[in-house]
Amino acid sequence: MKNRLIILLLFISGFAFGQSVPNTNTFHLTDVTAIVGGNTLTQCFTNSVDGYFDPNYVGNKDRLSNFRNYSPFPSGKWVTAVVDGGYIYVSDDYGVTFYQLGTSQSWWGVDMNQTGKYQTAVVYGEYIYSSNDNGQSWVQRSVSKYWTGIAIDSTGRYQAAVTNDGYVYESSDSAVSWTSYLVGTSFRSIDISPSGKYQIIGGWSDYVYISTDYGSTWNQVMTTSGDWAVNVARNGSQYLAALNGSQIWVSTDGATWPHTVDPQPAGTYYWKTIDADNSGSFIVVGDANGYIWYGSMPSSLLYPSNSIAGDWSVTSGYNGSYMYAADYGGVIYISWDNGKTWSIEYNSTQNWSSIATN
C-alpha cells in the first residue's frame, strides 16, 4: 500500500503541472498501481521487463515506463529562435505561437537549459544577453565581441560562448560573469554536456577542441582545419564533429575518432549545425544548402528527411521527441518523430540564424 500511495502522489503531483505524459499513451489510475506485490519502486521504475508488473495488467509495461520518464518540464515545450538583423522570438507552446522580444541586432546564436528557464543569446559584434525567466526578459552581459556560438548545461549554471577570434568564454553562475580563454584562431560553434564538464568547440577555418574540465583547459583533437559543427551527448561519452563539405566523425572519448556517420546517399554536403538528444540516440543535422538529415546511434547512418531545401539551423529537445529547424530566409519547422518528417510550425519568413529548445 505504501508503494501504491507514493506512486499515486507522484501521479497527482505530475498532473498538477497541467502537462501530458510523453508518447501520448492514455493513463488511468490503475496504470500507476499495477505493480507486483513485494517489488520496490526502484525495481519498477528502472526496469522494463514484464516480470516487475502485474501479469494481468492490460495496459502492459510501456505506460508505466513512460510515466517513469515523465518530467514536469516536457521536452520541446520552450522554443527560442533568433534572427540575424532582427529580434528574439520565444514560444512557450511548442512553437505554435512566438513572442517578439529584444532589439533588432545581428543575433547569431541561442541556447537554453533543460527546463527552459535559463536562456542565453549572442550578438555578432555586440554582447551576450541572458534570461532567467524562460526568455521573457533579457539582460546584457560580458563584453562586446564577434560571438559565434553559445551553449548551456542542463541546469543553466555552466555556460560557454565562442568568438570569431579564437576565444571561449566560460560562466559558472548562469551567465552573470565570464572568464575568457584564448584557445584557437577562429570559432564557429560550441556544445556542452548536461553536467557542463565536457565541452567541444568547432573551428571556423580552424580545428576541433575538447575540454573535460568545465572549459578550463582545451586540447586540439582534429588535424583537419575547416568549418565545424559539433555536439556532445551522453555526458561526454559521445562526440560528433561535422566538417562542412566533408564527413561527420564520431568519438566516444573525444581523443580518438575512428568512425563516421555516413549520409545515405553519399555525397558532398554543407553541414551547418548538428544536435542530438540527451542520450545521443537521435541525431539531427542541418545542411546549409540542402535538407534536414536525421539518424540514430549506433547505426551511424544518416538519411535526408522530407524537408525542403534550405539553409538549416537545427535543435533537438532533451528526449529527442521534439526537434525544430529554422531556415535562414525561410520559416520554422517541427518534427515529432526524431527528425524523420517535418512540417511548418511558424510561418514567418525571417533570417533565422539559430534555434534552441529544452
- What band does 95 get if pLDDT is binned at 50, 70 and 90? very high
Average pLDDT over residues 65-84: 72
- What band does 26 get if pLDDT is binned at 50, 70 and 90? very low
Q: Which residues, in sequence order, are bridge partners of residue 344? A: 333
Does residue 269 contact residue 279 with C-beta atoms inside 8 Å? no
- What band does 31 get if pLDDT is binned at 50, 70 and 90? very low
Does residue 155 contact residue 111 with C-beta atoms inside 8 Å? no
Does residue 70 contact residue 45 with C-beta atoms inside 8 Å? no
Q: Indicate the length of the chain as a whole number.
A: 358
Percent share of the chain, pLDDT over 90: 75
Task: Report how far Cα 211 is from the mean position of its chain's Cα atoms.
Answer: 19
Q: Would you state the pLDDT for residue 73?
A: 56
Other beta carbons within 10 Å of 13: 10
Does residue 287 contact residue 269 with C-beta atoms inside 8 Å? yes
Range with the lowest mean pLDDT among 137-141, 142-146, 201-205, 231-235? 231-235
Rounded CA gap, 278 and 313, in Å? 18
Q: What is the pLDDT of residues 238-278, one digit of tens each?
A: 999 999 999 999 999 999 999 899 999 999 999 999 999 98
Rounded CA gap, 325 and 316, in Å? 9
Q: Would you state the pLDDT for residue 8?
A: 36
The closest alpha carbon to 331, from 112, 83, 76, 78, belongs to 83
Average pLDDT over residues 188-194: 97
Instruction: Name the pTM for this structure.
Output: 0.81
The answer, yes or no, to whether residue 339 has pLDDT greater than 50, is yes
The answer, yes or no, to whether residue 25 has pLDDT greater than 80, is no
Residue of 133 and 300 predicted with greater confidence: 133
Q: What angle do CA 131, 134, 137 make, to 5 degrees?
A: 45
The C-alpha cell that represents 131 in the structure block: 534570461
Q: Which residues, in sequence order, are bridge partners of residue 230? A: 241
Rounded CA gap, 227 and 220, in Å? 14
Could you tell me the domains of the chain? 2-68 (no CATH), 79-357 (2.130.10.10)
Half-sphere exposure of 154 (CA within 13 A, CB side): 17
Q: Would you state the pLDDT for residue 138?
A: 98
